[in-house]
Amino acid sequence: MSPDTQTTSTGLELVVDVGRVAHGGHCVARHEGRVVFVRHGIPGERVRVRLTDAEEKAKFWRADVVEVLEASPDRVPHFWRTADSASSWAHGRPPVGGAELGHVSLQRQRSLKAEVLAEQLSRLAGVELFPDVEAVGQAAKTDGAGKTDDGGPADSAGKTDGAGKTDDGGAGLAWRTRASFGVTQSGRLGMHAHRSDQVIPVQEMPLAVEGINALRLWDVDLQGIERVEVAAPANGSRPLVLLAPAPGTRAKRLNSILAQLPADVSVASYDPLKNETLQLRGRTWVQESAAGHDYRVTGAGFWQIHRDAPETLVGAVTGFLHEGGFLEPGAAVADLYAGAGLFTAPLADAVGETGSVLSVEGAPGTSRDARKNLHGAPQVEIVQGKVERVLRQRPRQFDALILDPPRAGAGKAVVSQLIASSPRAIAYVSCDPSSFARDIGYFQEGNWQLAGLRAFDLYPHTHHLETVALLTPRG
């Protein structure tokens, strides 16, 4: 055993030099030739780590930083002790997930995310680009990284959330309008540690808007509940709490929890296996606003979680398509993986009643939301079903396609179908640089090119980012 190795009661500790950032929220280090994926470090640091996943025969190990021996100038005090690795392990437990870059300055966070995006594009698509990752909302005004021209992020200066609290002034906090929590065995609100079933009690969620924190769910006895989902729209409309009961939980227990929650909050029970939502009080949906439209979104339905994300992404997508001449009155466009219609509504505005918009969404509940949200737009056709099936059964010519798939991306089969439909342009929205870069490679194999790319920091203090790309046929 080397002198830089020591055993502790909780596992093995090593001293390592932190190398480059990698996709997934960690950096690469090495110990005696073995790769160690280190979370909570910064490239260039020398740190002591605690191994969290270290089978002897494994090709690589995973570890958390427990002590910084030589700090990066970009290291800052973590804003949340429950998510701070060194502080958490000093108290004998892992940090909660969801704020793994909270120890890094926001400017360096965006630089690290840009490195990951560039590496994925180079390795998976053969594209050599190093796009800036743009701040959004107040953070964009603070550091000047955001664009204010047409198609840029929305100006959110002075915006308030449902509890009347202004935005975070550029600190990267108070942006989540949705949050997911676990419940401890004793019935207290908590969050999971990274790659773990362990639920750690929490007393705050600094990344969430005040409308979520004001509910003080950590004061509620949640015995009988396995999971809690909360949505507090940025427009200040009525929040919704979804309770996922454990098997056998009785109605009396749910009523007891209901009595502990504020009277002006909607509450519903949710069965994630059956995808069923049952009203307990108020509504089973929330009302969101973006791009001049109001949207009904079911409690379990998808909506962008950053308070400024909807305006930002709509602006980027329509900006690319307008500038290229692909989104004009009378145009035929399709919104694929359309959700509740975030992009569908502004697309319908742009093409007018002489144009057409095909909106395709696989989830039945969310597709029903889209029908309600777009009922006054005769140029919109809402179809519920898998994108690949709808494209195969309803072939037609499009001026432009908008593609916003789940984290796994579109995949080779769908990309091939998109190319075969021969649109003039495709706007691709992605929340995962790996699946995005893989799909860009597929488009290039089909003789398409990456004509424009923007990246946004819609998930500050986490490793996630959002990209919006414009793709066009070559030649």
Catalytic residues: 431
Asked if 222 contacts 269 with a C-beta cutoff of 8 angstroms, the reply is no
User: What average pLDDT does range 310-333 have in this prediction?
Assistant: 98
Query: What is d(CA 243, CA 238) in angstroms, rounded to the nearest whole number?
Result: 16
Phi, psi for residue 367 in degrees, rounded to 5? -65, -35
pLDDT tens sequence across 63-90: 999 999 999 999 999 999 999 999 999 9
Is residue 434 predicted with pLDDT exceeding 70?
yes
Q: Which residue has the higher pLDDT, 154 or 24?
A: 24
Is residue 187 predicted with pLDDT exceeding 80?
yes
User: What average pLDDT does range 79-102 have in this prediction?
Assistant: 97
pLDDT tens sequence across 237-288: 999 999 999 999 999 999 999 999 999 999 999 998 888 899 999 999 999 9
Is residue 165 predicted with pLDDT exceeding 70?
no
Give the total residue count for the chain. 475
Query: What is d(CA 375, CA 348) in angstroms, rounded to the nearest whole number?
Result: 12
User: What average pLDDT does range 206-210 have in this prediction?
Assistant: 98
Percentage of the chain surpassing pLDDT 90?
86
Residue 352 is predicted with a pLDDT of 98
Q: Which residue has the higher pLDDT, 160 or 297?
A: 297
Residue 143 is predicted with a pLDDT of 60
Q: Cα-Cα-Cα-Cα dihedral of 281, 282, 288, 293, to 10°?
A: 160
pLDDT tens sequence across 373-429: 999 999 999 999 999 999 888 888 999 999 999 999 999 999 999 999 999 999 999
3-class SS shares of the chain: helix, strand, coil, % to 5: 25, 30, 45
Paired residues of 242 in beta bridges: 229, 268
Which residue in 252, 254, 257 sits closest to 219, CA to CA? 257
Query: What is d(CA 93, CA 10) in angstroms, rounded to the nearest whole number?
Result: 9
Distance of CA 129 to the CA centre of its chain: 23
Is residue 333 predicted with pLDDT exceeding 50?
yes
pTM reported for the whole predicted model: 0.91
Percentage of the chain surpassing pLDDT 70?
92
pLDDT tens sequence across 356-378: 999 999 999 999 999 999 999 99
Q: Which residue has the higher pLDDT, 5 or 368?
A: 368
Query: What is d(CA 80, CA 206) in angstroms, rounded to the nearest whole number?
Result: 7
H-type alpha helices, 121-180: 137-143
Q: How many CA atoms lie within 13 A of 213 on its CB side?
A: 17
Q: What is the mean pLDDT of the chain?
A: 92
CA distances from 158 to 136, 150, 154, 172, 375 (A): 14, 20, 12, 15, 33
pLDDT band of 2, cuts 50, 70, 90: low
Query: What is d(CA 239, CA 234) in angstroms, rounded to the nearest whole number?
Result: 10
Residue 166 is predicted with a pLDDT of 41
Query: What is d(CA 36, CA 33) in angstroms, rounded to the nearest whole number?
Result: 9
Is residue 112 predicted with pLDDT exceeding 60?
yes
DSSP class of 25: T
Is residue 164 predicted with pLDDT exceeding 60?
no
Two structure tokens written together for 380: 């919109």
Q: Is 51 left (phi over 0), alpha (psi -120 to 50) or beta?
A: beta
Residue 145 is predicted with a pLDDT of 40
Asked if 200 contacts 87 with a C-beta cutoff of 8 angstroms, the reply is no
Burial tier of 475 (Cβ tally within 10 Å: 0-12, 13-18, 19+): exposed
Q: Which residue has the higher pLDDT, 58 or 204?
A: 204
